[in-house]
């Protein structure tokens, strides 16, 4: 006889397997909706991380979501969420994004922090901020595995907060006075979104402080050298609309992503 606990555990594994398959094939799935609690969604996310680690991927950091009004308004979700990053998601400078294999990727500008020490659940906000040694402009590629890029809070948490890839600009020494810096997103040289680093919870360092409390929920430790993405200051743009997307953050610099596949529309592969 199966107990209730076993049934719940197997449905977490089952949901994780479905999301993992959607991520690997680029075939979208239906939302889970009300059936999935937020706690179960974080368990699904932890299971997804284990599946990726079993395939040899390494945890390289964490990302926050919905830390700006622009993102909350774009997606209709208004609670801060956390997801994980792995080495496979890291696109090196000069590497292009291949659109094949994604469902409907979008790109957004991010502030990235680097941790100089291991950070485990239970670390205080003050300790976490004190462990940061560098900051960089970044781009995040998000790709919801759900049909039509629509989800509830639990759906998006289970789907590792839509995390797909990230690109980092050059690291600079960490400093705290990084609020009020202009953020611009360009698609093929045209400005498509603008904002300010203050749009991230009033100050990007607040995103770090929030992460401290969320590691317990997320159930993982971050190794020294980990990257933390603070959450986009502006709405995201569809990757299919440009062959080059650039984020520029005043005083931090710029970071660029080339996208392959747009020009191949209709061409025989």
232 binds Mg ion (CB under 5 A): yes
Residues near Mg ion (CB under 5 A), total: 2
Write out the binding residues for ligand OOG, residues 222-261 only, by CB under 6 A.
231-232
Is 144 a binding residue for ligand OOG by CB under 6 A? The answer is yes
Give the one residue of 42, 66, 102, 186 binding ligand OOG; rule: CB under 6 A. Answer: 66
Alpha-carbon distance of 247 to 68, in angstroms, equals 16
- Pick the closer one to ligand OOG by CB: 101 or 122: 101
137 binds ligand OOG (CB under 6 A): no
Q: Are 222 and 116 in contact (CB under 8 A)?
A: no
What minimum distance in Å lies between the beta carbon of 66 and ligand OOG? 5
Question: Is 65 or 261 the residue whose CB approaches ligand OOG more closely?
Answer: 65
User: Is 161 near ligand OOG (CB under 6 A)?
Assistant: yes
Contact 230, 188 (CB under 8 A): no
The listed partner (ligand OOG, Mg ion, none) that binds 75, CB under 5 to 8 Å by sort, is: ligand OOG
Q: Is 104 in the site for ligand OOG (CB under 6 A)?
A: no
What residues between 136 and 165 interact with Mg ion by CB under 5 A? 140
3-state secondary structure 67-96: CCHHHHHHHCCCCCEEEEEEHHHEECCCCE
Binding of ligand OOG at residue 19 (CB under 6 A)?
no
How far is Cα 98 from Cα 172, in angstroms, rounded to an integer? 29
**Residue reference for tokens 């299919």:** 240
Question: Which residue, chain included where needed, has tokens 């984020």?
Answer: 247
Query: Is residue 13 left, alpha or beta, with left meaning phi > 0 and alpha meaning psi from -120 to 50?
Result: alpha
Q: How many CB atoms lie within 10 A of CB 34?
A: 8
User: What is the rounded CA–CA span in Å between residue 234 and residue 193?
Assistant: 6
- Under the binding rule (CB under 6 A), the answer on residue 62 touching ligand OOG is no
The residues, any chain, with a CB within 8 Å of residue 71's CB and separated by 6 or more, are 65, 108, 231, 232, 234, 235, 236
Least CB distance from residue 161 to ligand OOG, whole Å? 5
Q: Which of 29, 99, 108, 155 is in the footprint of ligand OOG by CB under 6 A?
A: 108
Q: How far is the CB of 29 from ligand OOG (least distance, A)?
A: 14
Question: Mask of contacts with Mg ion, 172-201, x by CB under 5 A?
Answer: ------------------------------
Q: β-pairing, 163-168 with 106-115? A: unpaired
| Position with the least CB separation from ligand OOG | 65
- Residues 134, 118: Cα–Cα separation, whole Å: 15
Which stretches of the chain bind ligand OOG, using CB under 6 A?
63, 65-66, 71, 75, 108, 140, 142, 144, 156, 161-162, 231-232
């Amino acid at each position: 006889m199966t107990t209730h606990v076993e049934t719940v555990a197997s449905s977490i594994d089952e949901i994780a397997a479905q999301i993992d398959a959607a991520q690997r094939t680029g075939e979208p799935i239906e939302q889970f909706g009300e059936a999935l609690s937020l706690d179960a969604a974080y368990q699904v996310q932890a299971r997804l991380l284990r599946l990726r680690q079993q395939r040899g991927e390494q945890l390289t950091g964490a990302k926050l979501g919905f830390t700006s009004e622009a993102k909350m308004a774009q997606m209709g979700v208004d609670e801060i969420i956390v997801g994980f990053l792995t080495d496979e998601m890291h696109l090196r400078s000069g590497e292009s994004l291949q659109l094949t294999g994604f469902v409907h990727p979008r790109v957004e500008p991010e502030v990235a922090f680097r941790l100089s020490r291991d950070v485990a659940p239970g670390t205080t906000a003050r300790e976490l901020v004190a462990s940061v040694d560098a900051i960089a402009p970044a781009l995040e590629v998000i790709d919801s595995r759900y049909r039509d890029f629509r989800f509830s809070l639990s759906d998006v948490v289970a789907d590792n907060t839509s995390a797909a890839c990230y690109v980092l600009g050059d690291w600079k020494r960490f400093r705290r006075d990084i609020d009020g810096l202009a953020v611009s997103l360009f698609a093929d040289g045209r400005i498509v979104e603008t904002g300010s680093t203050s749009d991230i919870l009033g100050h990007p360092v607040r995103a770090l402080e929030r992460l401290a409390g969320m590691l317990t929920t997320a159930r993982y430790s971050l190794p020294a050298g980990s990257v933390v993405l603070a959450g986009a200051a502006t709405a995201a743009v569809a990757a299919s609309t440009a062959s080059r997307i650039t984020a520029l953050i005043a005083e931090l610099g710029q970071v660029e992503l080339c996208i392959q596949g747009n020009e191949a529309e209709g061409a025989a592969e």
